[in-house]
Structure 1
C-alpha cells in the first residue's frame, strides 16, 4: 500500500509546523485497525498538511498519491475521513500558486478513484464522494450522470442530502447558460417537491436559493417551516439518547452549545445564507424555527438568530422575545444557547428582559456560575439582564454583592445600567477599598471596580483609587494594567480628583505616561505640564507599531489648539501610521486647526477600508459640531446602512455597532442635521 513512501526525503520537506519526518507514520496510522490510532493519525494529518493559512507544502503534494490509495482500499477503515481530507486539501489548494495547481492536477488525474467509490458499501464514503466528483472529475456530463444515477438508487437519507448539495455546487461552478447547469437545476427542482423526504426537499430548496432563486416557491417560508416540522417529527419518532448533563466543565459547556442536530443546522444555514438580504423572509423563517415543537429546531433557530443580528441591523423584537421563551427550557443545550445569544445582543435583548428577570429571581443558583476550575463568575442570565440596561438587575446584583461569594466580573455589568446602578455604589466602593495590594488576583478584582465607579462618577472612591496607585508593590503581576485603569478612572472625575495630581505627575515618566498626562489634563487643564510628555510619545518610534503614538495623538486631539506645536508630528503620523493611527492623527489635526486640511481623503479611505476606525472618526465629527459637515454624508450613510459596520467582529461586534450608531446620531443631531 505504501510502496515508495520511504524513498521520499521527508526530512527535507516541510509541513505546516516544521519537518515532515512524522508524516509516513501518520499515513500508516490511517490504515491501522485500531480506531484510536486512526483518529490520532487523522488529527496529525490535519495539523501537518491541512492548513488554510499556510498554503500547500511539498509534503502535502507528496502525500496525495498515498491518500488516494488509502481511499480506494475497502479494507481500510474510516475511508470517508480520508476522502473528506482530500476534498479539503483541494479546497485549500483552490486559490494558491503552482504547488496548489499540482495538487489539483494530481487529484483530477486520479479522479477515477472517486468515481469507483460512488457505489461503495459504506454510506459514510458515499456521503463525501459527491463533493470530490464535482471538484475533480473534469467532464461535466459524466459528473451529472453519476449524480443523477446515485439519486435514483440511493436509499440513505444523509447521502441523498450530500447529493443535493453537490448538485448545487455543480451548478454554481458552471456558467449559467450551459445545458448541464439547466439539467442540474431541473433535478434540484424535482427534489424540492413531493414525494421526497422533508430533509431532502429542504436541502434542494437551499441549493436552489443559491443558484436559481427565481425558481423558489412563492410561499417559501411557510413551505420551509412545514418541511422542518415534518422532518423533526420523523426524527423524533426515532430513538435517540438524551445528552447527559455532566459536570460544569468548559468542555461540557462547549459541547452543549454546539447544535446537536448538525444536519438540520446545515440545511437551515444554507437557506439563511442564500436568502441573504431578504431579511423579512429570514426573520419569518427564524420565528418558525423558534416556535417549533422540537427543541433542537429551536436551538438551531437561536444560533441562526445570532448570525442574522451580527450581520444586519434588523427589527429584532419578535425573534428576541422568542429566544427569551427558551430560557425556561428543560434542555440545558437550548437554555445555554439562549443565554449566550442574549448576552451578545446587549441592549437588543430588552424584549427578553422579563424572562431574564424571572429566571434570576426564581432560580437564584443561576446568579453566580461556579466552574470546576477558576474563580466564580457572574451568571449569564444576570449579566444579560444588566446588559439590556434594565434597572431590575440592580437589586439582584445588590443581593449578590451582599452574599458570601462575589464574582470579580460583577462590576463589568454595572456600566450598562447607567444611573439605575447608583444604589450599588457604596458596596462597590467598599470592595475597592478592600482589594489586596499584593495578591495574584489584584488586577482581576480591581480593574472592573475601577471602571464601574468611574462610569458612575463616584468621586468618593478617589481615596481607594489612590490607595492602589500608592500601595501596589513593584513586580506585582499586571501592576501596569491596574495602574492605567486607576489613572483613567481618576481622569474621568476631572477637577474633583485634584488630590490625585501629585501621584499623576509622578507617573509622567512611567510606562503609563500618556494615560497619566491625559488624566492630569482632565483634572488641571495644565497643558504645559503634559505637552512635553505627549510630544515625546508622539515622536517615539522605538516601539513596534504605532499604538503608543496613536494614544498620544488621541490625547493631543482632546487638548485642541493649545497643542498646535504637535502638528508636525501629527501630520507625519497621518501620512505614515497604520489605519487607526492615521485616523486618530487626522482627527487631532482637525480639532486643533478647525479644518481638515488635506486629510479628508484619508478619513474617507480608512472609514471605508478599516471599519474599526469609524468610532474614532464619528466621535471627532461629533465634537466638531457644524464644523464636521464635510463628513456628515458618511454618518448619514452609516445610519441608513442595513449592515453592521463589522459583520465578523464576534462577541462585542453588536455592542460596538450600537455605540457607533449612537455617536453618528448624536453628531448629526448636534449639528442640526437630523
Structure 2
C-alpha cells in the first residue's frame, strides 16, 4: 500500500504550513481533515498537493468515500487535474462497488474528469439507490429527471437545470418539483456544505419570483428559512433583484420560526432592507440582551443592517450594550452609513454621555464609528474633543481619522503611538510637539506598506534609524511578501532621511521583477514617488522601469498597482484601462481600481460600470457584497 511514498522528497515540497515532510505520515494514517488543511485549504493547491495525488487516489480506490470526494474536488483544480486524470482508470470500478456511499462518491471525480458518458449511463440503467442516482444525474446532467419520483433525484436534476447554461424553466411543474423536493428534505451530496445548499444553486438560477414565492409559502419553516437565504444570492448577483425579491420576506419577519432567517437575509440585501427598517429596529432593541453571546444573533444582524441603511435606531441599543460591558462586534470594513440623522444621533449621544463615569465603553464605541466616517464626520469634532477626558485614545483616534489635529489630543496620541500600528498617531504627535522619538520607535515596528507621506514628515530626523533599515536594502527581493514589505519601508525611510536613492531604488526594482503581491508593493512605491513633488529628479530613472511595470499589467496580483505607476509616469489611460477593468471584474482590489479609473478620467467605462445590472464583487465578507457594490456604484456615479 502507498508504494513509492518514501521515494518522494517531501521535505523539498511545501504545503499550506511549510515543508511537507509530515504528509507521508498523514497519508499512512488516512488523516483526511489534516490532509485537506495542508494540501487543499479553501481550494488552494501547493507543490505537495500534486505529489500527493496518486496516493490520495490509491486511498480512494480502496473504497473510501471520503477520499473520493476529496479527489473529486482536486479534479476541479487546474494545476493538479492532470495528475488526477492519469489515475482515472483506478476509479472507474468503484461505480459498481457494493457500498452505495462509495458508488455515489465515485461518480463525482469521474464526472469532474469528463469520463465517457457510456460508463456512467450503464450504471444509471441498473442503479436503484436514490442517492447514487442523484449523483449520476449530476454527472450526466440528466435534467429530464426533474420528474423522477425520488425527491433526492429531483433535487439533483434541478441543480443540473440550474447549471445547464440555458435559462431555468418557468414551468409551474418544475417549480413544484423543486419545492416538494425541498419539503421532503432532499439533500445533494455534491453540495454538502448545507442540507439546503442545492436550493441556493437553484433559486439563484431561477428567474422571476415564482420559485422563491412558492418556497416562502411552504408549510415547512426550514424551507421558508432556506428560501430567505437563497434569494439573497440573487441579490448579490443582480442590482435589480432586491426590488423584486426583498418584499417577499415580509411574512417571514412576523413568523417567530423564520424571523431570524429573514433578518439575516435583510443584512445581505443592502439598502433595500430599509423597507423593513421598523421591524429591524424592533429586533435591534433587544440587542443588549444578546450582545454578550459569541454567536451571530438576529439582534446583532438587525443592528448591523440599521447601520448599513443609515437608520439611527441602532445608536441607543449599542450604547446600552456597551454600558453592560459589551463592545459591538461590527467588523472593521463594514460600510456604516453616515447619514445626517445618524451623525446627529451619534453627536447627541456623545453630548448626553459626557462626564458620565460609567459611559467610557459606550463613548469608545461611538468614537470608533465616527472614525470610520473620516472627513464626513467633521461636524462631530466638538463632541469628540469633549470626549477626550473620558476616552482619550478612542477620541484621539477618531479625530485623527477625521483630519483634526489639536493640542488637546496629545495624551490620547501618546497612548496610541505606543500601540501596534501607532505610526500615524506618533507622526501626528511629532507635528504637535516636535518630538520625533515616538515616531521613530513606531517606525521600527510599523507594518508595511506605510504611506510615503508619513515617512516624509520625519525626513532627515529619521537618520537614527537609517542604519537598521539600510541592512534590508540588499538589491535583491526578499523571499516573502512581508519581508519585501519591510524592504519597501526601508527604501522609503532611507530616501526620505538621506536623499540617497541608489540602494533603495535598486531593491525596489528587484521587487518589481518578482511578480505577484511582492511586485505590487514595489509598483505602489513607484506611483507614490512619481506623485511626490520631491521625486521630479527621479522621474527619468523610474521611467526606465516601464518594461517591468508593463509586464505586471498581465499579473492579476499586481495589475492595478502597475497601472497606477504607469499612469503617473505618463502612459496614456487607453493603454491601462483594460487591465484596471479586468481587476474590477475579478473583484480584485476594486476600490483602488475604481479610484484609478476616476483619476484617469475613464468616464465611458465608469458610466458602463454604473449602468450594468451585474454586481461588482469587492473584497470583504460575503454579507457585504450588496452594500459594497451600492457604495462603489454611488462613488462611481458621483465621479462620472
For 2:32, the equivalent position in structure 1 comes to 42
Normalising by structure 2, we get a TM-score of: 0.67
Task: List aligned pairs for 1:593-672, cutoff 5 A.
Answer: 598-611=571-584, 615=591, 628=601, 631-646=602-617, 650-651=621-622, 652-668=624-640
Distance 2:55 2:282 in 1: 58
User: Aligned partners of 2:209 and 2:173: how far apart in 1?
Assistant: 15
Distance 1:443 1:380 in 2: 21
For residues 663 and 482 of structure 1, what CA distance do their matches in structure 2 show? 26
Q: How does 1:267-346 map to 2 (within 5 A)?
A: 268-272=199-203, 275=205, 281=207, 283-323=209-249, 325-331=251-257, 335-346=259-270
In structure 1, distance between residues paired with 2:4 and 2:118: 35
Paired residue for 1:54? 46
Summarize the Cα distance change of 1:429–1:583 in structure 2 as closer, same or farther, 3 Å threshold.
farther
| 8 Å CA contact retained: 1:343, 1:383 | yes
Q: For residue 101 of structure 2, give the secondary structure of its aligned residue in structure 1.
A: helix
Q: Does 2:59 align with 1:67? A: yes
Q: 1:357 is matched with which residue?
A: 281
Partner of 1:175 in structure 2?
none
Distance across 1 between alignment mates of 2:269 and 2:146: 35
Indicate the residue corresponding to 1:405 in structure 2.
325
1:201 equivalent in alignment to 2:154: yes
Number of the residue aligned with 2:432:
502
Supply the distance in 1 between the matched residues of 2:102 and 2:259 (Cα, whole angstroms): 35
Please give the alpha-carbon distance, in whole angstroms, between the structure 2 residues aligned to 1:408 and 1:552. 39
Which of 153, 167, 173 is the equivalent residue of 1:223? Answer: 173
Determine helix, strand or coil for the equivalent of 1:656: helix
| Alignment length (residue pairs) | 543
CA distance in 2: counterparts of 1:83 and 1:623, whole angstroms = 50
2:96 aligned residue: 116
Q: Deviations over 1:319-376 (max 9, x none)?
A: 2233465445545xx5554444433444232223222012224x3545x6213599x9
Unaligned runs of 5+ in 1: 31-40, 72-78, 169-184, 239-258, 491-499, 521-531, 590-596, 669-674
Checking the alignment, whether the CA contact within 8 Å between 2:267 and 2:305 is kept in structure 1 is yes
TM-superposition CA deviations, 1:593-639 (whole Å, max 9, x none): xxxx5421244133322225665565577689xxx4xx221122112
Alignment correspondent of 1:148: 125
1:422-475: CA deviations, max 9, x gaps?
A: 132154478799999xx9999999654533575321232357335554452587
Q: 2:146 matched to which residue of 1?
A: 192
Distance 1:408 1:431, change over 3 A: farther
Write out per-residue CA displacement over residues 264-295 of structure 1, whole angstroms, 9 at most, x where no aligned residue.
Answer: 421x244356x3xx7xx155433433343322
Relative distance call for 1:519 and 1:396 in structure 2 (3 A) is: farther
- Give the Cα–Cα distance (whole angstroms) in 2 for the partners of residues 470 and 555 of structure 1: 33
Aligned to 1:130: 107
- The 8 Å contact of residues 286 and 305 in structure 1, kept in 2 or not, is answered as yes
Q: For residues 303 and 425 of structure 2, what CA distance do their matches in structure 1 show?
A: 29
Aligned equivalent of 2:197: 265
Which is higher, the Rg of structure 1 or of structure 2?
1
Q: Provide the rounded CA distance (Å) in 2 between the counterparts of 1:414 and 1:143.
A: 49
Partner of 1:581: 561
Partner of residue 477 from structure 1, selected from 419, 428, 444:
419
CA contact (8 A) 2:284 2:299 kept: no
Does the CA-based 8 Å contact 1:11-1:19 persist in structure 2? yes
Q: Distance in 2 between matches of 1:235 and 1:212?
A: 26
- Counterpart CA distance in 2 for 1:434 and 1:554 is 45
Q: Does 1:96 align with 2:79?
A: yes
- Distance (Å, rounded) in 1 between the aligned partners of 2:37 and 2:114: 27
Q: Taking structure 1 as the reference length, what is the TM-score of the superposition?
A: 0.64
Structure 2: distance between partners of 1:479 and 1:370: 28
Q: Partner residue of 2:88?
A: 107
